[in-house]
């Protein structure tokens, strides 16, 4: 399955947007968290600054999100993990409301009550969770609903390779295969579950091999490449839409930042992240679209400027929005 010119340009634009968003957040998140603005004696205060709480960024992992979401429709469901921004942006979550949520503002997706690990947008059917492995069963639920309603919409569950060692992962695969649910399970293998290497936590080299145990196709993508993901995901999504059941995909991808912002990354070989950036997938796709004549240097620069403006506007919106009122603490807890 080859991508059309429109799909190639969409993937390229979204990858740039995701990277711009994550690198901006890496700067904004540090505001107020470092000495001398925090309590004396602390080196880092995770609760300080305009964006409090943990922050998990996905710079480097853009190919997984765009390669899959390029095949999805508005009525398809995506369930992300605790590192969710790339999936949310690729699924079309409102950038202003998503950013306001991270700032804890009343204009956020969850009225400022969820933060960055709990982004919910029913308009585009996106959700995520801070609970490792929780998304696979939830995607099965969305897929079962679509099947019961006689619709051909699908559900996608994204999670890290550490989540594939959770019981919920195996229960979800078993049920999805048994009931032939229209769901695609996508494992992002960025090598580390927090600070633990995959080789120290998982008995097999590729989680795609686990698919055979549940009677479904399993595919390993060994390159952090948007087109490679696009081709495999296209087959899996089409299979699900035809009512032929689930597929398990594992993608080897690269995490440029730490597990969380402020992570000292002592478990990582020195210079690893710098070396990974030498294989950045965005310039690779950019070279392809320019070679195909879909963009030239001027239009590429214009595209990047529009994206930078769009992302900055989202951060300005989040920063300048009002906080929820104290008396609203118990409102908007459940969706209607």
**Separation in Å, CA 80 to CA 87, 146, 158, 267, 288:** 7, 18, 5, 25, 29
Look at residue 224 and tell me whether its pLDDT is greater than 90: yes
Q: How confident is the model at residue 36 (pLDDT cuts 50, 70, 90)?
A: confident
**Pairing state of beta strands 247-252 and 155-160?**
unpaired
Picking from 202, 78, 183, 98, the residue whose alpha carbon sits closest to that of residue 140 is 183
The predicted-structure confidence for 76-105, as pLDDT tens digits, reads as follows 999 999 999 999 999 999 999 999 999 999
| Residue range 111-127: mean pLDDT, rounded | 95
Q: For residue 336, what pLDDT is reported?
A: 66
pLDDT for 143-178, tens place per residue? 999 999 999 999 999 999 999 999 999 999 999 999
pLDDT tens, residue by residue, 241-278: 999 999 999 999 999 999 999 999 999 999 999 999 99
Predicted local confidence at residue 4, as pLDDT: 97
Residue 249 and residue 294: Cα distance in Å, rounded? 30
Q: What is the pLDDT of residue 40?
A: 85
**From CA 159, how far away is CA 84, in angstroms rounded?**
9
């Amino acid at each position: 399955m080859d991508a059309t010119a429109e799909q190639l340009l969409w993937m390229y634009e979204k990858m740039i947007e995701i990277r711009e968003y994550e690198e901006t957040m890496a700067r904004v998140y540090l505001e107020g968290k470092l000495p001398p603005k925090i309590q004396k004696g602390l080196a880092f205060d995770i609760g300080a600054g305009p964006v409090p709480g943990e922050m998990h960024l996905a710079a480097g992992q853009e190919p997984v999100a765009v390669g899959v979401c390029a095949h999805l429709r508005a009525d398809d469901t995506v369930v992300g993990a605790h590192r969710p921004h790339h999936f949310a942006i690729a699924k079309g979550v409102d950038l202003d409301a998503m950013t306001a949520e991270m700032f804890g503002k009343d204009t956020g997706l969850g009225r400022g009550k969820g933060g960055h690990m709990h982004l919910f947008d029913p308009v585009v059917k996106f959700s995520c969770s801070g609970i490792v492995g929780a998304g696979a069963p939830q995607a099965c639920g969305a897929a079962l609903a679509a099947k019961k309603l006689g619709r051909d919409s699908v559900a996608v569950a994204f999670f890290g390779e550490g989540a594939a060692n959770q019981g919920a992962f195996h229960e979800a695969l078993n049920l999805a295969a048994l009931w032939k649910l229209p769901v695609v399970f996508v494992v992002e293998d960025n090598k580390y579950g927090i600070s633990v290497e995959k080789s120290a936590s998982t008995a097999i080299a590729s989680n795609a091999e686990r698919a055979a145990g549940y009677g479904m196709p399993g595919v390993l993508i060994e390159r952090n490449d948007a087109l490679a993901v696009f081709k495999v995901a296209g087959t899996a999504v089409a299979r699900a839409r035809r009512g032929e059941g689930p597929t398990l995909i594992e993608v080897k991808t690269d995490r440029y930042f730490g597990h969380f912002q402020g992570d000292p990354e002592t478990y990582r070989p020195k210079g690893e992240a710098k070396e990974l950036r030498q294989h950045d997938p965005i310039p690779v796709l950019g070279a392809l679209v320019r070679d195909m004549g879909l963009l030239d240097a001027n239009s590429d620069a214009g595209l990047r400027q529009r994206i930078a403006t769009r992302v900055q506007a989202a951060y300005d919106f989040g920063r300048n929005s009002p906080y929820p009122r104290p008396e609203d603490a118990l409102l908007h807890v459940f969706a209607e």
